[in-house]
Amino acid sequence: MMSMNSKQPHFAMHPTLPEHKYPSLHSSSEAIRRACLPTPPLQSNLFASLDETLLARAEALAAVDIAVSQGKSHPFKPDATYHTMNSVPCTSTSTYVYKRQHIFRAFAERFKQRRIKLGVTQADVGSALANLKIPGVGSLSQSTICRFESLTLSHNNMIALKPILQAWLEEAEGAQREKMNKPELFNGGEKKRKRTSIAAPEKRSLEAYFAVQPRPSSEKIAAIAEKLDLKKNVVRVWFCNQRQKQKRMKFSATY
DNA sequence: ATGCATGAGTA
DNA sequence: ACTCATGCATA
């Protein structure tokens, strides 16, 4: 039996991304389905030739990027059908990633322009998302919307959020065009922790340690914490965050 | 816009 | 104990 699971006919382009982590990409919501389909032409001529087919193919290979970002070897074969913006055949993984980076940049820029045109803040967008009633999609913070627009999220995160934000954008523009009263698409909700601040000298020391050993052992962390007179947990978290940051910068700093 | 933090999922 | 997505507080 069940030689084939006859579940929902999926349009999901992201079989490599686990559903529990990216529910929206596996959602059967109409809004998301629409958002995953072809997009209106890009405003910037620079990106005019980048169509959604390429985006879909690029996104489908997210696993490659993950492997690359982790410094692992990967199965990606340079493919002549991928072209850079200068019509140069894609000959390497880095060229390919370069292209994909630009596709996201094009979308993020356009998203920001249109959001501002609607007169909506990043925080508003974040809280309005919950009102889209897309299964598995709740509200997001101003931070996350800001990071999306500035491309400072991980690749997987960009892939997951793009259809959601696109769905919101289309809803909001549609509502405005038809002068519909849908305040819930333009307004935010409400929102409290004490923030530790590491002084500059200590931070320099941490960076120096990080350069030598980005993954210090628990013992090493304890030693560093004592030397800098910081709590051990603060040091541990600092290293975690630093590793996350490095991973993102590896991509955005290369291009 | 970004630093430090939390929590879920993994290994 | 780590990674990853995400958020509060703050510069």
Structural domains of chain A, count: 2
Decide if A41 is inside a domain: no
CA–CA separation, A221 and A209 (whole Å): 10
Domain stop point among A154, A181, A208: A181
For the domain that residue A155 is a member of, what is the CATH number? 1.10.260.40
Is the pLDDT at A101 greater than 70, yes or no?
no
Query: Which structure tokens are listed for A181?
Result: 């009263």
A204 and A173 part of one domain: no
A191 within some domain = no
Most confident of A2-6, A169-173, A187-191, A240-244: A240-244
Assess if residue A50 is contained within a domain.
no
**CB under 8 Å, gap of 24 or more: what pairs does A138-143 form?**
A139/A189
In the predicted structure, residue A208 carries a pLDDT above the cut 90: yes
CA A151 to chain centre: 7
Round to whole Å and give the CA distance between A25 and A5.
Answer: 19
Mean confidence (pLDDT) of chain A: 72
Give the percent of chain A with pLDDT over 70. 57
Helix ranges, A20-92 (H): 30-36, 52-60, 62-69
Give me the domain span that covers residue A246: 200-252
Assess if residue A4 is contained within a domain: no
Q: Is A243's CB less than 7 Å from nucleic acid strand B? A: no
Higher pLDDT: A54 or A88? It is A54
**Chain B, protein-covered positions (CB within 7 A):** 1-10
Q: Give per-residue pLDDT as tens, A225-234.
A: 999 999 999 9
> Would you say A206 and A241 are in contact if contact means Cβ atoms under 8 Å apart?
no
pTM of the model: 0.70
Nucleotide nearest to A24 (CA to C1'): C5
Which nucleotides of strand C are protein-proximal, with an atom < 7 A from a CB? 1-11
Specify if A158 maps to a domain.
yes
A228 shares a domain with A158 = no
